[in-house]
C-alpha cells in the first residue's frame, strides 16, 4: 500500500497541508488571506481579487480604497516575499 506524501489536517475550520517528508506545515488559503488583509487597514477577504497557490508561495491582488496591492506570500511562514501597490 502506497503512503501519501501529505496529510490534511483540519483545525478550527482551516485546512493545513503537512508535508510528511520534512514536517513543514503549509498555511491554508484562508489563513494567507487573513495575513494579506491584516496589512491593509480596513480591508477584508472580499477585497482579495486574485489568489493562487504556486508551489511554496501564494500570489495575488487585493484592491481596497482604489489602491491595488500585488503580493506574494511564503506558503509556510506567512512572510511577504513581494508586496507592492499602485499608490
Give domain limits for the chain: 6-85
> 6-85: what fold?
Nuclear Transport Factor 2; Chain: A, (3.10.450)
Q: Are 45 and 33 in contact (CB under 8 A)?
A: yes
Closest C-alpha to 58, from 37, 84, 87, 27: 27
The owner of cell 498555511 is 27
Does the pLDDT at position 44 exceed 80? Answer: yes
Give the confidence band of 40 by pLDDT, cuts at 50, 70, 90: very high
Has this prediction a pTM greater than 0.95?
A: no
Question: SS3 for 74?
Answer: strand
Give the confidence band of 30 by pLDDT, cuts at 50, 70, 90: very high
Amino acid at each position: 500500500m502506497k503512503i501519501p506524501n501529505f496529510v490534511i489536517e483540519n483545525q478550527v475550520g482551516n485546512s493545513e497541508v503537512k508535508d510528511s517528508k520534512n514536517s513543514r506545515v503549509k498555511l491554508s488559503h484562508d489563513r494567507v488571506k487573513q495575513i494579506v488583509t491584516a496589512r491593509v487597514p480596513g480591508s477584508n477577504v472580499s477585497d482579495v481579487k486574485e489568489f493562487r497557490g504556486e508551489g511554496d508561495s501564494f500570489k495575488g491582488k487585493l484592491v481596497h480604497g482604489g489602491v491595488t496591492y500585488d503580493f506574494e506570500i511564503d506558503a509556510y511562514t506567512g512572510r511577504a516575499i513581494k508586496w507592492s501597490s499602485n499608490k
